[in-house]
Amino acid sequence: MKTILITGCSSGFGLATAARFLGQGWKVIATMRTPRSDLLPPSEHLQVLALDITDPLSIRDAVQAAGPIDALVNNAGVGLLGPLEGTSLETARDVFETNTFGAMAMIQAVLPQFRQRKAGVVVNVSSSTTLAPLPLLSVYTASKAAINAFTESLALELAPFNVRVGLVIPGRSPETPFSQNAQSRRQGGIPEAYAEFASGIVARMRQSTGPVTHASDVAEAVWRVVNDPAAPLRVPAGADAVALAAVDQAAAA
């Protein structure tokens, strides 16, 4: 039986991904800051662990408790909505600490076992804001764009050890608490000079229609990357992300 460790399983993409692999007979290590075993169906193949990916000791304890794993999914992340001018560097660093350095720390923690076995898969979950940037999300987008570039380089670095690395790029999803979390992390409110502009942007985001990404889309994309050695390095997840990726590829051609 293969084992997968997934970060950020308390809701949204991480929870759906955990359920997908559990349903396919994998042993699932579902991690979250505050463990809740009632979020997923009871199973002898499920292990719920506490994990704060910004805390080295928490990472060490979780990886030790998990034991040998076959795949790591770096899904845990935080959002931030607001203009750069009104964002403290402390807040910006907090976003990078989770979205960028947290993923790096998790990979460093599991790489020794992957390298020694010459087997393993790392999946990093990014964002379609890296394909089509939006205002008020500059810091968040930068933290995810860093993961994109990091993943591309890491894939080359680990290929000699038969360790695969992939990137899943979800679009906008109504099934995650991103908007609420992104706004709650902002401190001090919107600077007055940006108030009118920001209110218009937020209103358009809330009224936006069209294709979206469902949590099941992300779970399916992660499943593909983990199980298909021929999967491309970048896999968009969700109808909107697929469309944006096609435009991005056409522009780069």
CB 72 within 8 A of CB 121: yes
Q: Determine contact, residues 49/35, Cβ cutoff 8 Å.
A: yes
Phi, psi of 250 (to 5 degrees): -65, -40
Copy the structure tokens of residue 121.
Answer: 């898969």
Pairwise CA distance, residues 211 & 173, whole Å: 9
The CA distance from 24 to 2, in Å, is: 10
- 54 CB burial (10 A radius; 0-12, 13-18, 19+): middle
Given 13, 26, 114, 140, which residue is catalytic?
140
Q: Are 230 and 166 in contact (CB under 8 A)?
A: no
* Known catalytic residue at 140: yes
* Residues 6+ away with beta carbon under 8 Å from 249: none
Beta strands (DSSP E) in the chain are: 3-6, 27-32, 46-50, 71-74, 121-125, 164-170, 234-237
Q: How far apart are CA 118 and CA 12, in angstroms?
A: 31
Q: Give the helix, strand, coil percentages of the chain, each rounded to 5.
A: 55, 15, 35
**What Cα–Cα distance (Å) separates residue 25 from each residue in 4, 18, 219?**
11, 11, 15
Catalytic residue positions?
A: 140
